[in-house]
Chain A
């Protein structure tokens, strides 16, 4: 029983990483209706920027805020320059664009900061949290930030004019345009916010997985799995999905014979496929009704 509780705790701790990433994935899916395969690389790049700022002597929280601003601006710039012209193009072209973006960012980061693994500081410290060996203060802090972020997003979308405008632009673009919402800029804003959330995820994850250009590969796939499980249309679902994927991963590794570390990835992927087949809208997403 103790093993079970411990595994669940450990699962929640890793789940926090996935929850953060899934939140970013869902944000951009809301704004543009596509899954951004380059999301992880964008987050990685932002994390490197914050690391560089700290190397230059900027204190942690200063670097944190500057990075957020940089990512937000960067996300908008990418949308304006590269993806706005593709808005009307078939999905296929967009997917190819994401892959190109992935290759560019990964390679540029590798060139600037090379591929050696770097330590990344944590503002929360890494001592055991409340006397438990399994969850450190950093992981507890990560869970806290994720929850705060989720609440912030909820208030933003429910109670601000611009949040309302963004929701309108995403759900019925034509009508939104008719009431005077600049839908094109709402999409850009969505990119900016997704990039900023991604950078928060990156900065929280970096102390755990260490900083290097390929750090996001595995995390992004789990983030996708979490987003799909929770439902791609629901930020709350994404966060809960993240924790569930983390717990599931740990329990499967412990209790199903033959599933070692090697098979953890296929398990996440089996999970994606199962969810998509059994309940395509995810646990909290709204099913899409098709009108003929």
Chain B
């Protein structure tokens, strides 16, 4: 029943992450890149497909990370942006015969606009209220997609089937492998873009808002602009991931984009470490593989196993994969000193 809140003394909603701790060193990045480039050459098509999904969800988690880890705003509604991106790609490809690669930037731009607009009302909300509003958006999205009014384009409840693209220039690789490398290229581009964004003037503005909104505005940061901008960028990237997802899964339907997806992405971010961009891929692996593992441990209790694992992460490694990485780094450092 408190009517007065101390803003300056109260802890921020998201813990501050120093800018340098947000990325990996050059060496580690190159090793990761090498692995991602080489592994698909030696595994079966199904695993390549799973790796493609890993990258796609990784991009979506990264987008949320920019919003939450960067500017300190919550979102439980990323599935809505993902859905808009997926539908934009699918509709452009199937109804208007646009090339699949061209649909992605369009999906990104449309989602950027959508996110920017949604950011306007979200401006007045913070913390729990924002989580609630975005939660509402995510729950409403499947029903909006089912509307009879849009059925001509969206295919209603049935959804749309998307054709998988062939490798171009007659390259002798399978569709799955082509799609993987295509996704990888886009993922790398988005990753580099995000890292640079957070290092730029805008990125500093995001972080200033995250750490203390009032101080940031006192220093001349246009809080409203940068908060909506963060929403827009995050939604845009999620939209590209959604478009890629539609192409990879070859199918879009309203019920693929429920609140469950939004929650998964949120959990992926928590597990990967909030504000640590490379953690996005770890988080994405968690949301893709752990439900399967949980089901393997006990079929009926998969939800419980999932929840318990999540609690373990919260209690043992509250900073997610970032913490594990830092501990690992220190161990290696000590090992080097001793030898």
A interface with B by C-beta (< 8 Å): 30, 33-35, 37, 82, 85-86, 88-93, 95-97, 99-104, 106-108, 110-111, 167, 170-172, 221, 224-225, 228, 233, 258, 262-263, 265-266, 268-270, 272-273, 276-277, 280, 286-292
Interface of B is mostly: helix
Are A93's CB and B125's CB within 8 A? no
CB-CB contacts below 8 Å: B1-56 with A: 1-8, 11-15
Are B314's CB and A96's CB within 8 A? yes
Residues of chain A with a CB closer than 8 A to B202's CB:
none
Are B266's CB and A99's CB within 8 A? yes
> How far is the CB of B114 from the nearest CB of chain A, in Å?
14
Residue of B nearest to A286 (CB): B3
Are B121's CB and A273's CB within 8 A? yes
Q: Does B162 contact A (CB under 8 A)?
A: no
- Report the separation of the CA atoms of residues A233 and B129 in the bound assembly, to the nearest whole angstrom: 13
Are A273's CB and B310's CB within 8 A? no
Residue of A nearest to B218 (CB): A292
Residues of chain A with a CB closer than 8 A to B124's CB:
276-277, 280
- Report the separation of the CA atoms of residues A288 and B10 in the bound assembly, to the nearest whole angstrom: 14
- Report the separation of the CA atoms of residues A97 and B131 in the bound assembly, to the nearest whole angstrom: 14
Given A96-B314, A111-B301, A233-B1, verify A272-B136 contact (CB < 8 Å).
yes
Given A97-B314, A280-B124, verify A170-B6 contact (CB < 8 Å).
no
Given A106-B303, A276-B132, A280-B124, verify A89-B1 contact (CB < 8 Å).
no
- Report the separation of the CA atoms of residues A288 and B124 in the bound assembly, to the nearest whole angstrom: 13
Per the CB 8 Å criterion, the residue count for chain B at the interface is: 55
Residues of chain B with a CB closer than 8 A to A265's CB:
139-140, 143
> How far is the CB of A231 from the nearest CB of chain B, in Å?
11
Are A221's CB and B139's CB within 8 A? yes
Instruction: Give me 26 A-to-B residue pairs in the complex whose CB atoms sit less than 8 angstroms apart, sorted by A's number.
Output: A37-B135, A85-B315, A89-B318, A90-B12, A90-B14, A90-B15, A91-B74, A95-B266, A99-B263, A103-B303, A107-B302, A107-B303, A107-B306, A108-B301, A110-B303, A171-B3, A228-B129, A233-B1, A265-B139, A265-B140, A269-B137, A277-B121, A288-B4, A289-B4, A290-B7, A291-B4
- Report the separation of the CA atoms of residues A95 and B132 in the bound assembly, to the nearest whole angstrom: 11
Are A287's CB and B318's CB within 8 A? no
Selected from A101, A258, A287, the residue in CB contact (under 8 A) with B307 is A101
Residues of chain A with a CB closer than 8 A to B4's CB:
288-291
Residues of chain B with a CB closer than 8 A to A104's CB:
303-304, 307-308
Q: Does B311 contact A (CB under 8 A)?
A: yes
Residues of chain B with a CB closer than 8 A to A111's CB:
300-301, 304
Q: Does B146 contact A (CB under 8 A)?
A: yes
Q: Does B270 contact A (CB under 8 A)?
A: yes
Are B267's CB and A290's CB within 8 A? no
Q: Residue-by-residue, is B253-270 near A (CB-CB < 8 Å gives 1, otherwise 0)?
A: 000000000010011001
- Report the separation of the CA atoms of residues A33 and B302 in the bound assembly, to the nearest whole angstrom: 30
Are A93's CB and B1's CB within 8 A? no
Interface of A is mostly: helix
Are A102's CB and B307's CB within 8 A? yes
CB-CB contacts below 8 Å: B255-302 with A: 263, 266-267, 270, 274, 300-302
Given A86-B314, A290-B7, verify A92-B302 contact (CB < 8 Å).
no
CB-CB contacts below 8 Å: B115-171 with A: 121, 124-125, 127-129, 131-133, 135-137, 139-140, 143-144, 146-147, 149
- Report the separation of the CA atoms of residues A288 and B128 in the bound assembly, to the nearest whole angstrom: 14
Residue of B nearest to A233 (CB): B1
Other 20 A-B pairs with CB < 8 A, given A35-B128, A97-B311, A277-B124: A35-B131, A35-B132, A37-B135, A91-B127, A95-B131, A99-B307, A100-B306, A101-B307, A104-B304, A106-B303, A107-B306, A108-B303, A228-B129, A265-B139, A266-B143, A268-B136, A276-B125, A288-B3, A290-B4, A291-B4
Are B300's CB and A96's CB within 8 A? no
Given A90-B11, A111-B301, A221-B136, verify A100-B68 contact (CB < 8 Å).
no
> How far is the CB of A190 from the nearest CB of chain B, in Å?
12
Residues of chain A with a CB closer than 8 A to B5's CB:
288-291
Given A92-B270, A108-B301, verify A291-B6 contact (CB < 8 Å).
yes
> How far is the CB of B276 from the nearest CB of chain A, in Å?
13
Residue of A nearest to B9 (CB): A291
Residues of chain A with a CB closer than 8 A to B3's CB:
171, 286-289
- Report the separation of the CA atoms of residues A221 and B121 in the bound assembly, to the nearest whole angstrom: 19
